[in-house]
Structure formats: C-alpha cells, structure tokens
Structure 1
C-alpha cells in the first residue's frame, strides 16, 4: 500500500495544501487567497474543509501517514504553538499543532514556512550541494532559515536568522537616523503599499498609467516591467529596495558565513533585474572573509517550495524537530 503525506502552507496571503510522497513529490495541490473576515478563523475553516476532502478520497483514505505544516510567523518549534502572525490577526498563542492533531488524528510537525521552504531547497533544490546554507523569501513577509552543516539551526527553540526583522535605515521616513525592519521596506506587501500611496509615484512615471491610472492595482510585477522599460523612478525604487535587502544579507553572511543563499517568494519572480542588483549591492558590502565565498541563487521550487518542504518534514526522514 502506498503511503502519502500532506503538506500545508499557511501564509499571510496564500494558503496551500498538497498530497504527496516522502520524497517531496507533489501529486496534487490546492491554493486559495482568502479575503479575511475573521483572520485565522477563515484559514482554519478552509484547511479543515479541504484536508477532510483529501483524507476521504478513495485514493488517499487510510493511506496518509502524517502532516507537515509551514506556518508564516514565529512559533515555538517543540510544541507547535504560534507566537503571532505579523500579517494575519487571530494567531497569537494559538496551539496549531494541537489543533491539527485533534482535527485529523495524524502525526503533525509545525515549522516556520521559510524554514520549510529552506528544507526543500537544501535537500532537493538550488542548495542541494551546499554545506552551510541560508534560505530567505521575499513575499508578503520576509523570513529566514539557517542550516549549519546541513542541519537546521533553531536558536533557543523559537527560530533564528529572521532576516526580515533585521534593522535597516528607513529611507521612507523624514526623521533623521530613523530605522525600521527590513520586511517593512522590502516585502511584497510593503513595496505595493508604498507604490499605492497617493503621490508616491510621480506623474511622469510609466507606473502612473498602469491599470488605467488606478494606483491601487499597481503590483511588484508592474514595478519590474517599468524597470525593464527604463523608467527612472522605477529603477531608483528597485535600487533602494535591493540595496536595503542586501544590507541585511551582508550582515547575515558576516555573522553566519553561509556558502549559498537562495531567495524565493513572489517578489523573487522579478528575476535577473532583482537578482543582479542584490548580488551587486551585497558584494559591495560583504566582509572580506565572505567575498568570493558565497553565491546568491533564485529558488528552484518557487511557489512549491513550502509544500515540498512540508512533505519532507511530514515524512520524518530528513530532520529532527
């Protein structure tokens, strides 16, 4: 009899479920971007309904052996208790592992979503030949996962290497010397919120004409297209974003000495116009001990990274959490 596993991604925007195998291969999956009325409750309702459907299907009934979950926020790794979500209300001190076990009567492992995606890239993706590996994503938020000698480093049991929460100069503020979290400058949500502020995009920018002038629809991908078109505002904006992200990345390299950095998340889909900047700015700031001894690569799995990692985690073959 075949054994299957469930992989779950609980994000700030995107929710995903996959049925797959112990090697991380996905058989089928579902995705939704919910309009939140109650925050966490909406997500739990969708998960409950859709996971029960999978577990009742003839192909999988009685054959699912465990569930791996990548959660978008800090948590207590051993207990699977969520500390909070920085994007969705209702998660504070939520016993997520207990909820899954009570709902579905299966073994469950809960891991931060960026860490889960990092497992996928380390074991099967862009970092598979790395010894000391760092994975981050630029999506709704920005996370981080460090793997020393191919073992995940969990700090004091509440995660570590949260790149998105490293402090950087705040060039959006008029206050001299102001600083803020990297995530509040460089995440997809922060970029789009900034672009959608009235008056932020100059009238002579091609972005001002996007979506028939409805700036509330301007996206990160629109910014990327404007950069490709040579729009001076868009070029300067992406330079500022990549420069800020690279400042945090240079600090990660100096403190942790990773040989490979892999970047995923929706914003990473900008491709070379983003990665070329990140590589250039990081190299300019890198400590002499790091220069020439690291590489920065795009995610191999992209949107599937967390699901693949969650399946690997669920199988229990690769990690101890």
Structure 2
C-alpha cells in the first residue's frame, strides 16, 4: 500500500509544504517566502494552512506521516529545533509535539542537509551505495554521509558540516566565526560577495556593470561565464579550485565510493561538474582513487522532508 507523506521544508528563502509518496512522486507543492520575524505561533499557523492546502491539491483526506526539515541545529530525538538561522525566535521550539497534535500522525524532524542526504540514499545516486558523501552547494554549504550503509550523525548530531572546514588560511570571514571556510568562499553568498567586493572588475565588466551588487548571485555568475564574461570565468575557476580542495579533503578522510553534489549551484550542470571533476583529479596528487562525482536529485529539496519518515520507520 502506498504511503503518503506531508513534508515541510523551512529554508532561508522559502517555506514549502509538499505531498509525496514512498515511490518518490511529488503530488503537490505549496510555497511561501520565509519571513525572518515569523516566530513559533505564526510558523505553526503557516504549517497548518499550507499542509491543508497541499493535501487538498493532492486530493487526499489523510496522510500517513509528516517529515519536517530545518536549516540549523535540531534535536531529532526530542523533536526540537534548537536554533534556526533563518527565522528568529525559534530557539528550543518543540515543533514535532505541536504538529503531531494538529495533524494526528507520526512526525519526524531533521536538519535540512541530513534530510537531503537521506533523500539521495532512498531516491537518488546513493541508492545501493553503502559509502557516499552528499555535499549541498546553496546559499551555504552543508551535507551528510552514509558510512557502511548507515547515516553518520556524529556524537552531537552535527556531522556533515563540510562548509566549515578551512580551505584558505586567514581567508574571508565565515558566519560561523572562523576565517577561510569553504562556505565563505564557494557558497552562494561567498561567490556573490567575492564578485561585489571587486569594484573595479565589476565596473569593467560589460555584464556585471549593468546590475546593482545586491542583485548578484551564484547563478548569474555561471550564466555570465557561459556568455563569455572574463571576470565571471575567473570567479568560477577560483570557486571550483577551492571546492576541489574541500572535496579531496573529505575523500581523504572518509574514502567514499561516491561524492554527490546537490543544491542550487549544482544546477549549473556541465559548467560546474566537468571542470570540478578535472580539478578534483588534479588535487588528489599521489592519493588519487576512483571516486565518482555525481549530480544530486533535481527535486532534492522537495524529496528531503518526504524521505525523513521513510528512513526512520
């Protein structure tokens, strides 16, 4: 019998309510922009109304379970959001208890990057692979890993913070407080910052000079590179070099069979993956080994919350 799952994804730019099933089919999707000052009560109200709307669109009266993923620190066992960088006032938020009470079905909570890793295990390139690492390249950089067939969480449930390895000594400040983290250089915000900080190069670029710095994002940088902008080419090459350094660090530590790259930046496709694979091979030096670098699920953000209860049941 097909299981139908309601998933909530709470990210930096959007909140979504998704209905999916255990075959990986998405039946409906309701999205709203993230409001930083939403707070606990208003967020729950959004969950209730968006979840009901998603069920109506999917023409379902009942669901079997609910998965919720948050960017930030969560306590999966207690069903508590410890802290969230995207919405203020959610510290120690007992979200599972409230959502279960309203919808009356089992509810599971996960960190968003961990949920995306689970989605790759169930529906993506991690199926049948006992040792793989998932790296999400989005506004920031995070990820997760399956080792010997099991999700590796770490002692404090914080494993997979690959974006916070230092790859440039005394590099740019990172939101975590360190300098030169991979996220600060190769995450979406880091890429945009590196462009906008180089005022003279922006002014000399026929494409970048036409837009204001606050409109620059990683997608635009890859697009402009494809259109022949030399400054965009330089930024992308630098980004790929530091990504390769970080990826080889992870491979040297965990020795996975597969590295799966997901997140918004991965949608650059061949513009990212062809030079990244070449850069990783070069960066291996004498430690080279046959590790596949594969693109993550196209609809990973939708499948992530759907996957959580499927893995835990």
Counterpart for residue 82 of structure 2:
83
Query: Is residue 2:274 matched to residue 1:279?
Result: no
C-alpha distance after superposition, 1:299-318 (max 9, x if no partner): 1x22x21332322322x3x4
Deviation at 1:195, TM superposition (A): 3.1
Deviates more, 1:235-244 or 1:89-98: 89-98
Deviation at 1:278, TM superposition (A): 2.3
When residues 310 and 32 of structure 1 are mapped into structure 2, their CA distance, relative to the original with a 3 A threshold, is same
Deviation at 1:219, TM superposition (A): 2.3
In the alignment, the residues of structure 2 paired with residue 227 and residue 99 of structure 1 have an alpha-carbon distance, to the nearest angstrom, of 47
Deviation at 1:35, TM superposition (A): 4.5
Instruction: Could you tell me which runs of 5 or more consecutive residues in structure 1 were left unpaired when the two chains were aligned.
Output: none
Counterpart for residue 59 of structure 1:
59
* Aligned mate of 2:300, from 294, 298, 305: 305
In the alignment, the residues of structure 2 paired with residue 200 and residue 262 of structure 1 have an alpha-carbon distance, to the nearest angstrom, of 36
**SS of aligned partner of 1:203:** helix
C-alpha distance after superposition, 1:243-299 (max 9, x if no partner): 22222211111111111111111111112222223222222223745x232111111
Note if contact 2:75-2:82 (Cα within 8 Å) is conserved in structure 1.
yes
Counterpart for residue 234 of structure 1:
232
In the alignment, the residues of structure 1 paired with residue 63 and residue 37 of structure 2 have an alpha-carbon distance, to the nearest angstrom, of 31
C-alpha distance after superposition, 1:205-240 (max 9, x if no partner): 23323xx43332222222112212332221111122
Counterpart for residue 182 of structure 2:
182
Query: Is residue 2:46 matched to residue 1:46?
Result: yes
Deviates more, 1:222-231 or 1:39-48: 39-48
| Superposition RMSD in Å | 2.6
Higher relative contact order (CA 8 A, sep 6+): 1
Counterpart for residue 72 of structure 1:
71
Counterpart for residue 16 of structure 1:
16
Counterpart for residue 292 of structure 2:
295
**SS of aligned partner of 2:202:** coil
* TM-score normalised according to structure 2 size: 0.87
Deviation at 1:81, TM superposition (A): 2.0
* TM-score normalised according to structure 1 size: 0.85
In the alignment, the residues of structure 1 paired with residue 190 and residue 200 of structure 2 have an alpha-carbon distance, to the nearest angstrom, of 13
Note if contact 1:6-1:19 (Cα within 8 Å) is conserved in structure 2.
yes
Note if contact 2:81-2:90 (Cα within 8 Å) is conserved in structure 1.
yes
Instruction: Could you tell me which runs of 5 or more consecutive residues in structure 2 were left unpaired when the two chains were aligned.
Output: none
**SS of aligned partner of 2:142:** coil
Deviation at 1:167, TM superposition (A): 1.9
When residues 57 and 202 of structure 1 are mapped into structure 2, their CA distance, relative to the original with a 3 A threshold, is closer
When residues 27 and 160 of structure 1 are mapped into structure 2, their CA distance, relative to the original with a 3 A threshold, is same
